[in-house]
Structure 1
Amino acid sequence: MARRQDQAIANALQRLADILERNENHANGRAQPQVQVAEEGEYQGLNKFLKRNPSQFKGGYNPDGAHLWIKELERIFGALQCSENQKRLENEGREINWFTFKEIFLEKYLPKDVRNKKEMEFLELKQGNMSVGEYAAKFEELALFYLPYQAAGNERSKCVKFENGLRPEIKEAIGYQRVRDFPTLVDMCRIFEDDHKSG
């Protein structure tokens, strides 16, 4: 089973590397990109994704590099507003969704002790002296290590966790509204904080 997972990761990484290499060759005038869309009207955002110059992960023992690589891809997916279906990878005729790929990837390239430490840091995270923006950035960075929040349908518990870590005055002002969309929640907290500072 572990060997099949390793192979799936290797194949998916190779596919990403091949796509990136084709894009680089195209940019340098050496070849035309060979990225094709299965049907007319299907999502055609791969070129937009590649224009953001995602870095390549070379493998080996590099926990921080693995984490940053996943974080960078997540940021690009977010900027392009990719749906879960648009993040799927194909491996030997099988589709692998992003959550599964990320879970297997992090298991392989982030040692368990490092993940456990980061997970504990996430679970204990509080806003403290950070601004809402800084707290949200740290929250999302560490949330990558807490896989239950990466699955679809866990937005509610993610929002509850974020709220619970806020400073009391922000938590009190925002909490009663029961916002369960994470970006909206962060924006509301940021606006409250800015208004409170200038008030």
Structure 2
Amino acid sequence: MAQTIQNNQNNHPQQVLQVRDKRGEFLKGRPPTFNHSPDRLQADDWLRAVERQLEIAQCDDREKVLYASGQLQGAALDWWDSFQNGYPNTNQITWQVFRENFRSHHVPAGLMRLKRKEFLALKQGGMSVSEYRDKFTQLSRYAPNDVEADQDKQELFMEGLNDGLQYQLLSQSFANYQQLVDKALVIESKRRDMEAKKRKFQNQQLGSNSRPRFS
């Protein structure tokens, strides 16, 4: 019996669970620190960058608060210390609470409203489709509720396009926002090719008409 027990132990060694160093993985992504900036939108940029690294490291809610607050310095750290002192139980500060209070303190609500208005009024104008897409993506972060549904996002993007592109795209339907953008890019590229050929033809015609004629 003793031999049987020993054989079973040899055949099924105890598995050792390795504990992931989430803080190490978080810091490996080189998350930025934050102190203070005259550009209030940089605080929002910092929050998004840190949150992305926290997600990559697969941190839980409490770890997110601890690791993110560890990246605060100077005036931002003073705010965090003051916030904790006024909270009944610091262990119950969730990531959502941290995020909302950090943003409300460092990014004025009035500024967020202005950026949302800028997004809703965005037009392509003289921008290329890719430039307009990038600007649309950048400003859409200030209007998350307006682009939460893919169909709403498509409609807003379409409304900002120049009339010619809108006319060619309105008769079609797209499964998602990315398909709409891809189609707009293809049409723009085709238009540019056609315009380049037209200019080349006109230049050739102009050149032939300007040649001296001899009788």
Please tell me the TM-score bracket, short chain as reference. 0.5 to 0.7
- CA, structure 1 residues 176+94, in 2 after alignment: closer, same or farther (shift >3 Å)? farther
What letter corresponds to residue 46 of structure 2 in structure 1? W
Say whether 1:186 aligns with 2:181. Answer: yes
Say whether 1:35 aligns with 2:22. Answer: yes
Alpha-carbon distance, 1:155 to partner: 1.8
Q: Are the aligned partners of 2:37 and 2:43 in contact in 1 as well (CA < 8 Å)? A: no
- CA, structure 1 residues 122+58, in 2 after alignment: closer, same or farther (shift >3 Å)? same
Q: Distance between the aligned counterparts of 1:117 and 1:53, measured in 2?
A: 31
Q: Choose which of 129, 147, 166 in structure 1 pairs with 2:161.
A: 166
Say whether 1:111 aligns with 2:108. Answer: yes
Q: Distance between the aligned counterparts of 2:182 and 2:59, measured in 1?
A: 26
Q: Are the aligned partners of 1:155 and 1:180 in contact in 2 as well (CA < 8 Å)? A: no
Say whether 1:131 aligns with 2:121. Answer: no
Structure 2, unmatched stretches of 5+, are: 1-19, 66-90, 195-215
Map 1:69-108 → 2, pairs under 5 A = 69-70=46-47, 72=49, 89-90=61-62, 92=91, 96=95, 105-108=102-105
Q: Choose which of 119, 124, 129 in structure 2 pairs with 1:122.
A: 119
What letter corresponds to residue 103 of structure 2 in structure 1? L
Q: Distance between the aligned counterparts of 2:113 and 2:93, measured in 1?
A: 31
Q: Distance between the aligned counterparts of 1:104 and 1:181, measured in 2?
A: 34
Say whether 1:145 aligns with 2:142. Answer: yes
TM-score after normalising by structure 2: 0.53
Map 1:24-63 → 2, pairs under 5 A = 34-35=21-22, 47=25, 53-58=30-35, 62-63=39-40
Q: Note the aligned Cα RMSD (angstroms).
A: 3.7
- CA, structure 1 residues 150+70, in 2 after alignment: closer, same or farther (shift >3 Å)? farther
Q: Distance between the aligned counterparts of 1:149 and 1:184, measured in 2?
A: 19
Q: Distance between the aligned counterparts of 1:101 and 1:181, measured in 2?
A: 33
Pick the structure with greater CA Rg.
Answer: 2
Q: Are the aligned partners of 1:71 and 1:144 in contact in 2 as well (CA < 8 Å)? A: no
Correspondence for 1:3? none
Identity of aligned residues (%): 26
Q: Distance between the aligned counterparts of 1:168 and 1:102, measured in 2?
A: 40
What letter corresponds to residue 66 of structure 1 in structure 2? A
Q: Are the aligned partners of 1:170 and 1:189 in contact in 2 as well (CA < 8 Å)? A: yes
Q: Distance between the aligned counterparts of 2:27 and 2:157, measured in 1?
A: 32
What letter corresponds to residue 55 of structure 1 in structure 2? P
Correspondence for 1:155? 150
Q: Distance between the aligned counterparts of 2:122 and 2:92, measured in 1?
A: 41
TM-score after normalising by structure 1: 0.57
Alpha-carbon distance, 1:182 to partner: 2.4
